[in-house]
């Protein structure tokens, strides 16, 4: 078991959506010192900046959350950036941490790494059985290469690197951006704003048949801290609920929670990504006792309410 009580933990991406929940989860677990530099303070794509950061902070553990990330629209618009940025950040951090004797390194991966036609639920053993869905493949492949590097560093140097693949995350504090946001925050914004304006319809990409699995961000943060403390193996581990929800179900639930009374207009000409995405989650349960706690509808209601409060605060 990794001793957080006497450890300095470096969290990259600590001020992003997931990171903002990982920091208090680490504090609650008793981490002695948590360091979370902002992106403006250290460009992780630059090897000299990464080396200087680790020399300055001398972490015992690294939790690598920082990423160039977004929804399908963002991936389609910038595939090269998704691949290059995420590879560079991960490679520089893993190499510098290994050279400096970091005692635990956790990389956060993505369910986008799984093959497009992977049998559901996705088991970790099937990760290499095919090419990811084209719309998000560059991001998924970059993360999968970091898994390969983590395993190689462990095999060759005994470097204690672990790799966790969360499913789709959602919750308060997400990026409610129609261009770069993921499906939950994008739909929350569409339905709340559509309700407030009295729009007759809201557009949703696809036909609603695609399925996803949704994990509340606080559950995810707790699971990552548990993995940091208690998991130490080269095999990747899924982090999720094991529950599958169609985009149609999601949209109808969010419309109801937002009070939207118009029509949902399905845009079947727009990309929808992988047909099914749900994880097999028994490895996390066995290895470090992880189970999700927040029911989906409760979490979605909280997310809608948080977005409404943020709009009221901004005066919009």
Higher pLDDT, 141 or 176: 141
Pairwise CA distance, residues 101 & 159, whole Å: 8
**Upstream peptide bond of 121 is cis (omega within 30 degrees of 0):** yes
Backbone torsions φ then ψ of 161, nearest 5 degrees: -100, 135
* pLDDT single digits (tens) 38-65: 999 999 999 999 999 999 999 999 999 9
In contact, 251 and 186? CB cutoff 8 Å: no
Least confident interval from 2-16, 152-166, 260-274, 280-294: 260-274
Among the listed residues 167, 180, 191, the one whose alpha carbon sits nearest the alpha carbon of residue 300: 191
Please determine, for residue 24, whether its predicted confidence score (pLDDT) is greater than 60: yes
Task: Look at residue 69 in the predicted model and tell me its pLDDT.
Answer: 84
Task: Look at residue 103 in the predicted model and tell me its pLDDT.
Answer: 98
Please determine, for residue 295, whether its predicted confidence score (pLDDT) is greater than 60: yes
Q: Identify whether 114 is a catalytic site residue.
A: no
Q: How confident is the model at residue 257 (pLDDT cuts 50, 70, 90)?
A: very high
**pTM (2 decimals)?**
0.93
Task: Look at residue 266 in the predicted model and tell me its pLDDT.
Answer: 96
Task: Look at residue 316 in the predicted model and tell me its pLDDT.
Answer: 54
Task: Look at residue 315 in the predicted model and tell me its pLDDT.
Answer: 64
Higher pLDDT, 122 or 177: 122
Task: Look at residue 72 in the predicted model and tell me its pLDDT.
Answer: 77
Q: How confident is the model at residue 271 (pLDDT cuts 50, 70, 90)?
A: confident
Task: Look at residue 310 in the predicted model and tell me its pLDDT.
Answer: 86
Least confident interval from 64-68, 164-168, 190-194, 204-208: 204-208
Please determine, for residue 314, whether its predicted confidence score (pLDDT) is greater than 80: no
Average pLDDT over the chain reads: 95
Please determine, for residue 91, whether its predicted confidence score (pLDDT) is greater than 90: yes
Average pLDDT of span 117-139: 94
Please determine, for residue 269, whether its predicted confidence score (pLDDT) is greater than 90: no
Pairwise CA distance, residues 128 & 132, whole Å: 9
Give the architecture-level CATH label for domain 4-171+214-243+278-294. Answer: 3-Layer(aba) Sandwich (3.40)
**Integer distance in angstroms from the first to the last C-alpha of the chain?**
48
Task: Look at residue 172 in the predicted model and tell me its pLDDT.
Answer: 94
Please state which CATH number belongs to domain 183-209+245-276+299-314: 3.90.25.10
Q: Where are the domains of the chain?
A: 4-171+214-243+278-294, 183-209+245-276+299-314
Helix, strand, or coil here: 177? coil
Q: Which of 114, 131, 139, 231 is catalytic?
A: 139
* Residue 200 CB coordination number (10 Å): 10
* pLDDT single digits (tens) 298-312: 999 999 999 999 887
Tokens linked to 177: 């951006």
Task: Look at residue 281 in the predicted model and tell me its pLDDT.
Answer: 98
């Amino acid at each position: 078991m990794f001793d957080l009580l006497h450890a300095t933990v470096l969290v990259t991406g600590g001020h992003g959506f997931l990171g903002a929940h990982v920091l208090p989860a680490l504090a609650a677990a008793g981490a002695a010192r948590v360091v979370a530099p902002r992106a403006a303070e250290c460009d992780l794509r630059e090897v000299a900046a990464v080396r200087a950061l680790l020399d300055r902070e001398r972490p015992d553990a690294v939790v690598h959350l920082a990423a160039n990330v977004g929804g399908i629209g963002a991936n389609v618009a910038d595939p090269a950036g998704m691949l290059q940025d995420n590879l560079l950040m991960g490679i520089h951090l893993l190499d510098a941490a290994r050279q400096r004797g970091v005692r635990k390194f956790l990389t956060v991966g993505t369910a986008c790494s799984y093959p497009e036609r992977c049998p559901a639920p996705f088991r970790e053993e099937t990760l290499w059985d095919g090419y990811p869905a084209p719309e998000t493949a560059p991001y998924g492949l970059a993360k999968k290469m970091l898994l390969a590097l983590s395993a190689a560093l462990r095999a060759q140097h005994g470097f204690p690197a672990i790799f966790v693949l969360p499913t789709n995350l959602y919750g308060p504090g997400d990026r409610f951006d129609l261009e770069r946001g993921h499906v939950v925050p994008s739909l929350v914004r569409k339905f709340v704003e559509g309700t407030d304006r009295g729009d007759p319809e809201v557009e949703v990409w696809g036909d609603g048949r695609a399925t996803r699995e949704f994990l509340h961000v606080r559950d995810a943060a707790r699971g990552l801290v548990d993995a940091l403390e208690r998991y130490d193996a080269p095999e990747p581990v899924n982090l999720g609920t094991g529950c599958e929800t169609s985009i149609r179900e999601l949209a109808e639930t969010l419309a109801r929670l937002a009070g939207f009374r118009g029509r949902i207009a399905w845009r079947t000409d727009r990309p929808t990504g992988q047909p099914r995405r749900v994880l097999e989650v028994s490895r996390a349960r066995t290895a470090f006792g992880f189970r999700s706690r927040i029911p989906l509808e409760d979490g979605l209601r909280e997310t809608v309410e948080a977005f409404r409060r943020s709009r009221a605060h901004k005066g919009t």
